[in-house]
Chains A and B, each alone.
Chain A
Amino acid sequence: MVEQSNLRELSNTVQNIKNEVDKLKTLGGNFKFIEMNIIRMSAMIKMLELGINDVKDVLGS
């Protein structure tokens, strides 16, 4: 089982990735291929949030 301190670090990393993807989206502007790939990346990041960030929140790390 993942230690709670690791969970916090995992959660922070997921959040950082999410922020970077948001930044990429903004920088990408009208490039459709960036937008399309970001939709897919965001969906995968959401699954990480469900499995990591939500759990961290209830475990109170």
Chain B
Amino acid sequence: METIPVEKLKDLQLMKFKRIFKWCYDKSKLYRGLYDAAGLKPEDIKTWDDVRKVPLLEKEHYREAQYKEPWPYGDSLCVPPKDVTIYHQTSGTTGQPVFQPDTWQDWEWWTECWSYILWAQGFRNTDRVFIPFGYNVFVAYWAGHYAAEKIGCEVVSGAMLNTEERILKMKELKATAFMATPTYVLGMADSCKKLDIDPKELGIKRILCAGEPGASVPSTKKRMEQAWGCDVYDHIGATEIGGWGFECSSKPGGIHVNEAMFLVELLDLETGETIEEPGKLGKVVITSFDRQAQPCVRFDSKDVAMWGEKCECGRTFRVLKGGIQGRIDHITKVKGVLFSPVSVEEVVRSMSQLGNEFELIVSREKDIDKITLRYELATGYEGQEKEVETQLARVLRLKTNLNYVYESCPYESLPRYQVKAKRFKDLRNEH
């Protein structure tokens, strides 16, 4: 499927969109209500222009439809409750968590989607994959675990172990690959040093990153690859959507969209028009074609991205240049300048004098925006705050067109995260 000619891929997508639209309309009160209000019925969806008339689905729609019978999925459920075999939920970063039901077929679909990801990154049945993550109600790494099994890898769960125990288990078993957030990948490298272990000598060949965009930020990727002496790959997925994008082993500087299983549309941030050309930032809207229990159709992911150029790997799946560029709710105006925290990450992680962690805090003093960068100096660079801040000011001014207030923090005093890091805080509307 990955090499289907582009025009046939478009035909496949349209065929699948019609099918999932009808499924949702027929099976769910949430969708039927949404589409009836827009005056759309399944037979109205014939062309790509018709697809673009379908109303966007927001997380809020799920929240309103859920928390009622059939408990807890309410009107968003598209199958009888007895067919649901797995429960997950979103993290609740932006409000009430969304409950995500899946049938057994859905779960097979999740692992199928992830199999594309792992295969493209070189995972094979000769790999011993370690998963240093505490599996729980979130979908994170569950699908990666079972997809790795599906393609024949040997999978080792490090769920209930602490970081040091995980490292020692990886060493003992001679794991060849692992999956983690970029933050945790860097944190584990630091922990290795405390154990007198050089991460490069553990024999890890590849690391799959999830949960944060770090593996698509060149300086963060480089930092991870240098620390572990192996390839680091990005992937994109979400509880409500599925594992929909992956970096391939050609490392095209972006993420392939699995266009056989998902429709990804980029919509102009101001006009809402569909963006097809490379290089223009747009809102990411996604449809998962083949999910049963609670599919997403034209789901507004609140992420922003831009199309890139064709990848040399031979896949016809399009590439999102640089992966996800940020969240709509994180891209904000500071002092009248459009600001994305990812651009600061790129700078911080490119400077060897700085540790892995940082925080960005936007506040307002006497009606003037203030942006503070809290950073840690890496070990061995103690006392070099002045030089570092001079360099940061010069590079960040060029990169973001903004001036910052700098605050040096003791090494390891800033929060460490295993899942979604919260390094950006906008306090302007807080009292």
Contact = CB atoms under 8 A, between A and B. Distances in A.
Q: Please say whether chains A and B are actual partners in one complex.
A: yes
Interface of A: 1, 39-40, 42-44, 46-47, 50-51, 54-55, 57-59
A54 B108 contact: no
A55 B105 contact: no
Looking at B3, B103, B104, the one whose CB has the most chain A CB atoms below 10 A away is B104
A50 B15 contact: no
Closest 6 CB pairs of A and B: A43-B108, A43-B105, A58-B11, A58-B12, A47-B112, A43-B104
A51 B105 CA distance: 14
12 contacts: A40-B104, A43-B103, A43-B104, A43-B105, A46-B105, A47-B108, A47-B109, A50-B109, A51-B1, A51-B112, A54-B15, A58-B8
Interface string B119-154: 000000000000000000000000000000000000
Contacts of B290: 46, 50
Contact of A50 (B3, B104, B112): B112
B4 interface: yes
A1 B1 contact: no
Contact of B15 (A39, A40, A42, A57): A57
Contact of B3 (A1, A44, A54, A57): A1
Contacts, number: 41
B180 interface: no
B264 interface: no
A14 B164 CA distance: 47
B261 A39 contact: no
Contact of B12 (A39, A40, A46, A54): A54
A44 B108 contact: yes
Nearest to A47: B112
B109 to A, nearest CB: 7
> In which size bucket is the chain B interface?
10 to 19
A42 B260 CA distance: 20
Interface in B4-33: 4, 8, 11-12, 15-16
Contacts of B12: 54-55, 58
A43 B15 contact: no
B35 interface: no
A13 B168 CA distance: 47
Contacts of A57: 15
Given A50-B261, A50-B290, A55 B108 contact: no
B261 A55 contact: no
B117 to A, nearest CB: 15
B107 interface: yes
